[in-house]
Amino acid sequence: MDLAYTQEEEAFRNEVRTFLRDKLPADLSSKVLEGKHMTREGMMRWHRILHERGWIAPAWPKEHGGCGWSIVQRHIFEDERAEAGAPPVAPFGLVMCGPVIMKYGTEKQKSYFLPRILSGEHVWCQGYSEPGSGSDLASLKMRAVREGESYRVNGQKTWTSMARWADWIFCLVRTDPAAKKQEGISFLLIDMKTPGIRVRPIVTMDGGAEVNETFFDDVMVPAENRVGHENKGWTYAKYLLGNERTSIARVGGLKRELKQLKDMAALEGVDKNRRFRDKVAHLEIELMAHELTNLRMIAGLRDGRGPGTEASILKIRGTEIHQRMTELAFEALGPLAVPFQREALEEGWNEEVIGPDYAPPVAPRYFNTRKVSIYGGSNEIQKNILSKAMLGL
C-alpha cells in the first residue's frame, strides 16, 4: 500500500489552494468557520462558482460533465476545501441521485436531469425514511400504484433534509405490496411542485429546520420518471447508500474542527488541564487512525479494488469522532456553552452574545451531531454489516 502523494498530485493540491484563495467568497468562508447558518442562496452561490470552474462534480466522469478526477484528487480537494472553510455542496443530487441516474437511468433521464444537477437548476432531496421505516428501510409503506402512464403516490417521508429548498425528490416507493420487502420497491423521481405534495418542517434540538416531513396525497408521477425496472429499486437504493456512507467520513472537516477545539481550549485555559489534554490527544489519535483508514481505502480504489468494509468502518468512526469533538467543545466552554442564542448564528447579528464570540455554535453543533450516527444507515446496522462480512456472523 503506497500512501505517498505523487508530484502531480502535490501540484494539483497547489492548484486547489490557489483556486480557493482567489474564488472562495470571504463571507461564505466566515460563515462556515464561525458556525453560522448557511442560506440556500449562499450554498448555491458556491455551487455556481464550482460549476463555472468545472469542479462541481469531482466523482462524475467527464462524459457526464464531471471532473474525471482520480480518487486521490477527490480526497485532496475535499481536504483543502474543508481547511479553507468552503461550504459543502448539497449532496443529494451530486453524490446520491446523480450517480444512480448515470448507472441505471434511461438516456432521456440522463440528458434531462444530469445537466440540471450540475448547474444547480435542480436542487434535490431524499425520500427514503418513513415513520417506522428508518434503519429497517425495506419495511417502507409509501405506495405507488400504476395507472396508465403514471403512478399514483400516497404516503409520507420523514427526515427529508432540504425538502423546503428542493425542486425534486428521489423516493423509494412500494409498487408490489405482495412481494418480499426488498423485492416490491421502485425508485421514482418526483417534481416537488406536483400537486398533492406538502412539506412540514421538523424543528430540531438546535432550533433549526433542515429536516422535514413530506406528505404525498394522490400525487401523479409520470412512469417515465421511474429509474430502472419496477420492483428493483432496492438494488439502486443500496448503490446510493454506498456512495453516501463513504462521504460521511468527513476527514477534512474533522481536522479543521479539531484545530478549532484546540484554539478554544487555549483561549479558555482548559488546555492546561491534564485530563482535558489527555482527552484531546486521544481524540487526535483516533482521527489520525480514521484518516489512515480513509487513505487505505483510497489506495485500494486507486489500485482498482472496491471499498469493501472500509465504508462501514469510516461511517462508524467518522460519526463517533464528530460527536466526541462536540462533546469536548462543550466541556471546554462549560456553563458558557449552555445559553444557546440561535439569533447569534444568523447573518448580520451584532447584539451582545452571552460568553465569548466563539461560544454560540457550540451547543447547536452538539445537539445537531446526535443524529450523525443514525442517518446513512445507523452505526448499529453498520456493525451488523461488518460482522457478516468479516466474521461470518
Q: Which residues are catalytic?
A: 244
The pairing of strands 150-158 and 197-202 is unpaired
In 3D, which of 345, 348, 347, 339 has the Cα closest to residue 361? 345
Beta strands in the chain (DSSP E): 124-127, 143-147, 150-158, 168-174, 185-191, 197-202, 211-222, 226-227
Beta strands in 95-149 (DSSP E): 124-127, 143-147
Neighbours of 116 (CB within 10 A): 15
Quickly list H helices, 207-250: 233-247
Neighbours of 282 (CB within 10 A): 12
In 3D, which of 33, 23, 31, 17 has the Cα closest to residue 80? 17
The three cell numbers of residue 132 are 417506522
Cβ distance 348 to 277 under 8 Å? no
The three cell numbers of residue 264 are 478554544
Q: How far is CA 214 from the centre of its chain?
A: 19
In 3D, which of 135, 130, 90 has the Cα closest to residue 376? 135
Neighbours of 137 (CB within 10 A): 20
- Full DSSP string of 39-98: PHHHHHHHHHHHHHHT-S-TTS-GGGTS----HHHHHHHHHHHHHHTPPPPPHIIIIIIH
DSSP assignment letter at 133: B
